[in-house]
Amino acid sequence: MILSLSVLSYLLISWFVIQSVEVVGDSMYPTLINTGHYWLERYSYLVSEPRQDDIVAVRDPQDKMLLVKRIIAVPGQSVCLKNGRVYIDGRLLHEPYLLPGTPTYAYDKNGNEFVSYGDRYFVMGDNRNNSMDSRVFGAVSRQDILGKVVE
């Protein structure tokens, strides 16, 4: 009985409240470090929506791996990558978390404007030259955002 309650408590806490997550790779450098351990806080997104600038764990739409990225645009916002800079709804995005002089370019040759629509969120890593993110796999759905990453 006690073992069953312990297992149930662990599952409820890890699926609905908080769990540990390890960052693999340098895509969030300098904000988060490779092999760093952080908390994935799930509860806040059960009662509210993710917001721009939140660092989140998302399920990669292509291979379902866990990725840690920053929300750049929320549903309904347009994203334009132009001359190494990010514009949201036509306004330059202030990004104090990037290393000085870090450019942001689109990876594809088809253009550099994206629109977050429906329940889609545009996410990118802080290490823009070493990040597989929405520039590769497109905006992610709300269901693919697992929670907020906190230290």
Which regions of 49-142 does DSSP assign to beta strands (E)? 55-59, 66-73, 78-82, 85-88, 91-92, 113-115, 120-124, 140-141
Quick check: 127 and 25 in contact, CB under 8 A?
no
**Number of domains forming the structure of the chain:** 1
**Which structural domain, as residue segments, surrounds residue 126?**
2-150
Active site residue 4: no
Catalytic residue among 4, 48, 64, 69: 69
Catalytic residue among 4, 20, 27, 82: 27
Predicted pLDDT at 5:
53
CA dist., res. 17 & res. 112, Å (int): 37
In tens digits, the chain (151 residues) has pLDDT values of 776 655 555 554 555 556 778 898 999 999 999 999 999 998 888 889 999 999 999 988 888 788 999 999 999 998 988 889 999 999 999 999 999 999 998 876 565 667 666 779 999 999 999 999 999 888 999 999 999 999 8
CATH code at position 15 = 2.10.109.10
Quick check: 71 and 123 in contact, CB under 8 A?
yes
Active site residue 78: no
